[in-house]
Structure 1
Amino acid sequence: MPDPVRKSPLLQYYEAIEQASADMLEAARVGNWDRVVKLEGACAVLISQLKHAADHQRQLACEEVQVKSRIMQRILRNDAEIRILAEPWLEDLDNMLVHPGHNVLH
Structure 2
Amino acid sequence: MTGEEVISIYEKVAVITHQMLAAAREYDWEQLAELESQCASHVATLKRGESAVPLTGMVREQKVKFIRQILADDREIRTITEPWMEQLSVLIKSTGTERKLAQAYGANQSG
Question: Residue 100 of structure 1: SS of its match in structure 2?
Answer: helix
SS of residue paired to 2:54? coil
Letter in 2 for 1:52: R
Amino acid at match of 2:75: A
**Unmatched 5+ stretches in structure 1:** 1-6
Aligned twin of 2:86: 91
RMSD: 1.6
CA drift of 1:64 comes to 0.8
SS at match of 2:27: coil
Task: Provide the C-alpha distance between the structure 1 equivalents of 2:79 and 2:93, rounded to a whole number of angstroms.
Answer: 22
Show the counterpart of 1:21: 17
Give the residue type in structure 1 aligned to 2:28: N
Determine the structure 2 residue equivalent to 1:4. none
Query: What does residue range 48-67 of structure 1 map to in structure 2 within 5 Å?
Result: 48-56=44-52, 58-67=53-62
Correspondences of 1:2-13 after superposition (within 5 Å) = 8-13=4-9
Which of structures 1 and 2 has the bigger CA Rg?
Answer: 2
Q: Which runs of 5+ in 2 are unaligned?
A: 99-111
The list of structure 1 runs, each at least 4 consecutive aligned residues, that deviate by more than 4 angstroms after superposition, is: none
From 26, 29, 39, the counterpart of 1:43: 39
Question: In structure 2, how many angstroms separate the alpha carbons of the residues matched to 1:37 and 1:14?
Answer: 19
Check the 8 A contact 1:8/1:60 in 2, yes or no: no
Percent identity, please.
29
- The yes-or-no answer on 1:80 pairing with 2:72 is no
- The letter for the 2-side match of 1:96 is L
The alpha carbon displacement at 1:87 in A equals 2.2
Which residue number corresponds to residue 30 of structure 2?
34
